[in-house]
Amino acid sequence: MHVPFCAHHCGYCDFAVVAGRDELIDRYLDALEAELARLGEAASVETLFLGGGTPTHLAPEQLDRLLATLARWLPLHPQGEFTVEANPDTLSDDKVAVLARWGVNRVSLGAQSFASATLAVLERAHQPEAIAPAVQRVRRAGLMVSLDLIFGVPGQSLQDWRADLLQALSLQPDHLSTYGLTYEKGTPLWKQRRRGQLIPLSEADELTMYELAMDLLGERGFEHYEISNFAFSGRRSRHNQVYWANHAYHGFGLGAARYVHGVRSVNTRDLDGYLRKALAGESVTRASEQLAPEERARETLVVQLRRSDGIERAAFTEQTGFVLDELIGTRLTTLVEQGFLHDDGQHVCLTRRGKCVADAVIERLL
Ligand code: SF4
């Protein structure tokens, strides 16, 4: 469920977000309700993820209304997982209380860095001092905490990154996501890079930072269960594992993506168009595509290889109808010999070396 409103548009972000149009929030909630009503009847779900945007940018009463709408149309299984994304400076005690009241059990906090200079390059709205109190608020309400961090930011040294990881660990999160900075076309950061106003880190430096995260978080007992994600035992994100298994999921809201009955579709990213169509009871889907079975199998291979559990041959065949080895042939053996993949006969997964160059390995495999 996508909520596009943010206090401010960060320099690296190319999600479907809007800043400075808060007067549209109530209409957006009407539109989401109208989009959900097209389901016809409530659909029980095992996991929910409310992201954006910044869902916690909404006022407590707006958040309460949104969560009531979700409970009406997408009732959560009693043992379900319900995650909400939040920015540290938007998480007041009353908003956390609203989340807890509606059964949210995880909060994913966009910390990104504990260094003011790094946050300034990323054009984040919050200061480092806002992160620890936000974590404490979530903890006091009995919810799990996941922290997002970004590495490879211009000006960030290996020592800065180590300090970020150590500060994050000192807050004892249940889960950590570490993302290498990407320069998405059209973002302010991409433009600055093109004009030579900032110097990106070298690939070698980024790799060293990634390896440091693997070492440090591994030493502290975190399981590296997906290329960018680390969790304490039993605290993996169940929701995101659906994506990495290539199983079906719904999606609602501006720019939301879904994968239902083998059809991938995305909603419009135009806020005015979304509001108009949803409120008129029309479809807000911008594009959809039915994948051929072999394409679906290849896509399954790509996403499952992101997991440290990798691809389980028998489950892969059951899910896709294809035999893994027939799809990729001798390229698998070559990549195993080169030390990028591990194959025990049942599972195929990336080695540590393979994780460092995962995109290239997947490209060669296909
Ligand atoms: S707060 Fe998150 S969603 Fe909003 S602009 Fe920044 S990075 Fe994008």
Alpha-carbon distance of 157 to 174, in angstroms, equals 26
What pLDDT is attached to residue 247?
96
pLDDT of residue 262: 87
Q: What number is the average pLDDT over the span 168-194?
A: 96
Cβ proximity of 138 and 166 under 8 Å: no
**Do you know the residue count of the chain?**
366
Local confidence band at 154 (pLDDT 50, 70, 90 cut-offs): very high
Above 90 in pLDDT, residue 289?
Answer: yes
pLDDT computed for residue 326 by the predictor:
93
Q: Which residues of 53-67 are buried (b: 16+ CB within 10 A; e: fewer)?
A: bbbbbbbbebbbbbb
Q: And the tokens for 69?
A: 């709408």
pLDDT at 366 over 90: no
Write out the residue limits of the CATH 3.20.20.70 domain(s) in the chain: 2-245
**What is the predicted pLDDT for the residue at 50?**
98
The predicted structure's pLDDT at residue 4: 97
Q: Is 269 in the pocket of ligand 1 (CB under 6 A)?
A: no
Give me the pLDDT at residue 329, please: 85
pLDDT more than 90, % of the chain: 97
Q: Residues 353-365: what's their mean pLDDT?
A: 93
User: Do residues 173 and 143 touch, judged by C-beta distance below 8 A?
Assistant: no
Indicate where the chain has its CATH 1.10.10.920 domain(s). 293-365
Mutate to test the pocket of ligand 1, among 1, 13, 124 (most ligand atoms within 8 A of CB): 13
CA dist 294 and 300 (Å) reads: 10
CA-13 nearest atom, ligand 1: 8
Per residue in 233-272, pLDDT (tens digit) is 999 999 999 999 999 999 999 999 999 988 999 999 999 9
CB of 10 closer than 6 A to ligand 1?
yes
Question: Closest residue (by CA) to atom 5 of ligand 1?
Answer: 9
Our answer on whether the CB atom of 52 is closer than 6 Å to any ligand 1 atom is: yes
Q: What is the mean pLDDT of residues 298-323?
A: 96
Ligand 1 nearest atom to the CA of residue 87, by list position: 1
Asked if residue 158 has pLDDT above 90, the reply is yes
The mean of the pLDDT values for the chain is: 96
CA of 72 to the centre of ligand 1 (A): 27
pLDDT of 2 over the 90 cut? yes
> pLDDT tens digits, residue range 26-57?
999 999 999 999 999 999 999 999 999 999 99
Instruction: Establish whether residue 167 lines the binding site of ligand 1, counting it when its CB lies within 6 angstroms of any ligand atom.
Output: no
Please give the average per-residue pLDDT across 50-66, as a whole number. Answer: 97
Closest atom of ligand 1 to CA, residue 53: 3
**CATH among 1.10.287.3510, 3.20.20.70, 3.40.50.150, 3.50.50.60 for 2-245:** 3.20.20.70
54 lines ligand 1 (CB under 6 A): yes
Q: How far is the CA of 263 from the centre of ligand 1 (A)?
A: 28
Q: What is the pLDDT of residues 112-152, one digit of tens each?
A: 999 999 999 999 999 999 999 999 999 999 999 999 999 99
Query: Which percentage of the chain shows pLDDT scores above 70?
Result: 100
d(CA 230, CA 110): 15
d(CA 44, CA 22): 30
Question: According to the model, what pLDDT value does residue 14 have?
Answer: 92
Q: Under CATH, what is the fold of the domain 293-365?
A: Arc Repressor Mutant, subunit A (1.10.10)
